[in-house]
Amino acid sequence: MGTTHVLFSLLIYFLLWRLNLIAIEGLSLIFIVIGSILPDIDHPNGLIYQFLSLPEWLVKGITSLDRHRGKTHTLWAAIVVLTSSILLFNVYSKLDLIVSLMFFLGYLSHLASDSLNKTGVKWLSPVFEITLRWKISTGSKSEKYFFYTVGILLITVMASKK
Ligand SMILES: [Zn+2]
């Protein structure tokens, strides 16, 4: 599912670019991708751990703090990520605000694509325990179809810009 999240975030990024809302820029592109894999920090096989190659004890420690698709898979976590990002990257490091906005958007894109999954996402937990879910199972044929559909849409969007 990790690569699907990355592809889905890239589709959103290039759609915004196609609509002339953003310009392609290295940092914002990197941040939307990192944002798209960050919520799975609660899963030992999360793509983020493959990038970071942290020691196993640390991964076990972090992932034992909460169940998969718990606190990191909420709108509140996304808002904390946005706020922290603005403080760290915009106020402190003086980077452009687009970096934090793309980080936030990447995070939201992860929650949105997980909401297409059978397990779904409790976006507003613990305030409202409503689960947004659909029919796609992780590792199933339907996930592969979703992956290829997003890939084809991404190529189409990228190729359609004049
Ligand atoms: Zn997830």
Question: Would you state the pLDDT for residue 138?
Answer: 85
Confidence of residue 117 (pLDDT cuts 50, 70, 90): very high
The residues near 89 (Cβ < 8 Å, ≥ 6 apart) are: 95, 99, 100, 103
Phi and psi, residue 9, nearest 5°? -65, -35
Q: Return the domain boundaries, the chain.
A: 2-159
CA of 133 to the centre of ligand 1 (A): 12
Q: 10 alpha carbon to ligand 1 midpoint, in Å?
A: 16
How many C-beta neighbours within 10 Å does residue 48 have? 17
Tens-place pLDDT, residues 73-116 = 999 999 999 999 999 999 999 999 999 999 999 999 999 999 99
How far is the C-alpha of 141 from the C-alpha of 145, rounded, in Å? 6
- Can you give the pTM of this predicted structure? 0.93
Ligand 1 center–CA 114 separation, angstroms: 6
Q: Report the alpha-carbon distance of residue 7 to residue 151 in Å, rounded.
A: 7
